[in-house]
Structure 1
Amino acid sequence: MTEWRNFDELKSFQTLKNEQKVDLPAVMAGESGAERVRKYSVPMAEGLQYNFAAKSVDDTILSDLAELAQEAELGDKFKELYEGAVINTGEKRLVLHHLTRGQLGGDVIADGVNKRAFYQEQQKRIADFARDVHEGKIVNEQGEKFTAVVQIGIGGSDLGPRAMYLALQNWAKANKQDYMDAAFISNVDPDDAASVLASVDVAHAIFILVSKSGTTLETLTNETFVQNALRAQGLEPSRHMIAVTSETSPLAHNDDYMAAFYMDDYIGGRYSSTSAVGGAVLSLAFGPEVFAEFLEGAAAEDQLAKETDPLKNPDMLDALIGVYERNFLGYESTAVLPYSQALSRFPAHLQQLDMESNGKSVNRFGEPVSYPTDPVLFGEPGTNGQHSFYQLLHQGKNIVPLQFVGFRKSQLGEDDSIQGSTSQQKLCANVAAQIVAFACGKPDENRNKNFEGGRPSSIIIGEEVTPRSLGALLAHFENKVMFQGFVWNLNSFDQEGVQLGKVLAKRVLAHDTDGALAEYSKLLDI
Structure 2
Amino acid sequence: MTNPTILPAWKALAEHRREIATAHLRDWFASDPQRCQRFSLDWGEIFFDFSKNRITDKTLGLLFQLAEQSGLAARIESMFNGESINLSEDRAVLHVALRNRSERSIEVGGYDVMPDVRRVLDKMRRFTDQVHSGQWRGFSGKPISDVVNLGIGGSDLGPRMVTAALTPYQKQDLRVHFVSNVDETDLLETLRNLNQETTLFLVASKTFTTQETMTNARSARDWLIAGAGGDSAAVARHFAAISTNHNAVQAFGIDPENIFEFWDWVGGRYSLWSAVGLSIALAVGMGRFEELLQGAFEVDQHFRSTPFSRNIPVIMGLLGVWYANFLGAESHAVLPYDQYLRHFPDHLQQLDMESNGKRVDLTGKPVDYTTGPLVWGQPGTNGQHSFFQLLHQGTHLVPCDFLVAAESQHELGEHHAILLANCLAQAEALMKGKTEAEARDELVDLDLPEDKLAALAAAKTFPGNRPSNMFLFKRLTPKILGRLIALYEHKVFVQGTIWNVNSFDQMGVELGKQLAQAILPELEEGRTGDHDASTAALIETCRRWWDRK
Identify the TM-score tier after normalising by the shorter chain. over 0.9
Identity %: 36
Find the counterpart in structure 2 of residue 194 from structure 1. Answer: 188
- 1:218-247 per-residue CA deviation (whole Å, 9 max, x = no partner) reads 000000111121122126223200000115
Indicate the SS of the match to 1:397: coil
For the Cα contact (< 8 Å) 2:148–2:202, is it kept in 1?
yes
Deviation at 1:29, TM superposition (A): 4.5
Q: 1:386 aligns with which of 377, 384, 387?
A: 384
Gapped runs of 5+ residues in structure 1?
Answer: 417-421
For the Cα contact (< 8 Å) 1:41–1:52, is it kept in 2?
yes
Find the counterpart in structure 2 of residue 212 from structure 1. Answer: 206
Indicate the SS of the match to 2:315: helix
Deviation at 1:349, TM superposition (A): 0.5
Q: In the aligned structure 2, how far is the partner of 1:111 from the partner of 1:185? A: 36
Find the counterpart in structure 2 of residue 13 from structure 1. Answer: 10
Find the counterpart in structure 1 of residue 426 from structure 2. Answer: 434
User: Structure 1 residues 214-223 or 200-209, which shifts more?
Assistant: 200-209
Q: In the aligned structure 2, how far is the partner of 1:30 from the partner of 1:429? A: 22
| CA gap 1:124/1:247 in 2 versus in 1, 3 angstroms | farther
Which of the pair has more CA radius of gyration? 2
Deviation at 1:92, TM superposition (A): 0.9
- Equivalent residues in 2 for 1:471-486, closer than 5 Å: 471-486=482-497
Q: In the aligned structure 2, how far is the partner of 1:135 from the partner of 1:275? A: 23
Q: In the aligned structure 2, how far is the partner of 1:118 from the partner of 1:351? A: 30
Residue 221 of structure 1 aligns to which amino acid in structure 2?
T
TM-score (norm 1): 0.93
- Equivalent residues in 2 for 1:320-339, closer than 5 Å: 320-339=318-337
Q: In the aligned structure 2, how far is the partner of 1:5 from the partner of 1:29? A: 37
For the Cα contact (< 8 Å) 2:281–2:288, is it kept in 1?
yes
Find the counterpart in structure 2 of residue 27 from structure 1. Answer: 27
Deviation at 1:28, TM superposition (A): 5.0
- 1:90-136 per-residue CA deviation (whole Å, 9 max, x = no partner) reads 11111011100016896333377421221111111011111011112
Q: In the aligned structure 1, how far is the partner of 2:369 from the partner of 2:133? A: 56
Q: In the aligned structure 1, how far is the partner of 2:39 from the partner of 2:78? A: 30
Residue 42 of structure 2 aligns to which amino acid in structure 1?
P
For the Cα contact (< 8 Å) 1:336–1:404, is it kept in 2?
yes
For the Cα contact (< 8 Å) 1:356–1:495, is it kept in 2?
yes
Q: 2:500 aligns with which of 479, 489, 500?
A: 489
| CA gap 1:131/1:104 in 2 versus in 1, 3 angstroms | closer
Indicate the SS of the match to 2:401: strand
Q: In the aligned structure 2, how far is the partner of 1:501 from the partner of 1:448? A: 44
- Equivalent residues in 2 for 1:124-273, closer than 5 Å: 124-170=122-168, 172=169, 177-178=171-172, 180-234=174-228, 236-246=234-244, 250-251=248-249, 255-257=253-255, 259-273=258-272
For the Cα contact (< 8 Å) 1:152–1:207, is it kept in 2?
yes
For the Cα contact (< 8 Å) 2:235–2:253, is it kept in 1?
no
Indicate the SS of the match to 1:250: helix
Find the counterpart in structure 2 of residue 406 from structure 1. Answer: 404
Q: In the aligned structure 1, how far is the partner of 2:14 from the partner of 2:101? A: 38
- 1:121-155 per-residue CA deviation (whole Å, 9 max, x = no partner) reads 11110111110111122111222211221100000
Gapped runs of 5+ residues in structure 2?
Answer: 437-453, 523-527
Q: In the aligned structure 1, how far is the partner of 2:394 from the partner of 2:194? A: 44
Q: In the aligned structure 1, how far is the partner of 2:156 from the partner of 2:45? A: 28
| CA gap 1:194/1:28 in 2 versus in 1, 3 angstroms | farther
Find the counterpart in structure 1 of residue 518 from structure 2. Answer: 507
Indicate the SS of the match to 1:514: coil
Indicate the SS of the match to 2:74: helix
Indicate the SS of the match to 1:452: coil
Q: In the aligned structure 2, how far is the partner of 1:138 from the partner of 1:303? A: 38
| CA gap 1:370/1:154 in 2 versus in 1, 3 angstroms | same
Residue 451 of structure 1 aligns to which amino acid in structure 2?
F
Q: In the aligned structure 1, how far is the partner of 2:134 from the partner of 2:350? A: 37
- 1:36-63 per-residue CA deviation (whole Å, 9 max, x = no partner) reads 223211234x521211010111101011
- 1:444-495 per-residue CA deviation (whole Å, 9 max, x = no partner) reads 3421111111111011110111100000000000000011000000100000
Structural RMSD (CA) = 1.9
Indicate the SS of the match to 1:141: coil
Deviation at 1:507, TM superposition (A): 0.2
User: Size of the alignment, in residue pairs?
Assistant: 510
Residue 118 of structure 2 aligns to which amino acid in structure 1?
Q
TM-score (norm 2): 0.89
Q: In the aligned structure 1, how far is the partner of 2:503 from the partner of 2:270? A: 11
For the Cα contact (< 8 Å) 1:82–1:105, is it kept in 2?
no
For the Cα contact (< 8 Å) 1:43–1:314, is it kept in 2?
no
Indicate the SS of the match to 1:498: helix
Q: 1:423 aligns with which of 415, 427, 446?
A: 415
User: Structure 1 residues 140-149 or 497-506, which shifts more?
Assistant: 140-149
Find the counterpart in structure 1 of residue 469 from structure 2. Answer: 458
Find the counterpart in structure 1 of residue 441 from structure 2. Answer: none
Indicate the SS of the match to 1:515: coil
Q: In the aligned structure 2, how far is the partner of 1:253 from the partner of 1:93? A: 28
Deviation at 1:82, TM superposition (A): 1.1
User: Structure 1 residues 463-472 or 129-138, which shifts more?
Assistant: 129-138
Structure ranking higher in helix proportion: 2
Residue 538 of structure 2 aligns to which amino acid in structure 1?
Y
Residue 435 of structure 2 aligns to which amino acid in structure 1?
P
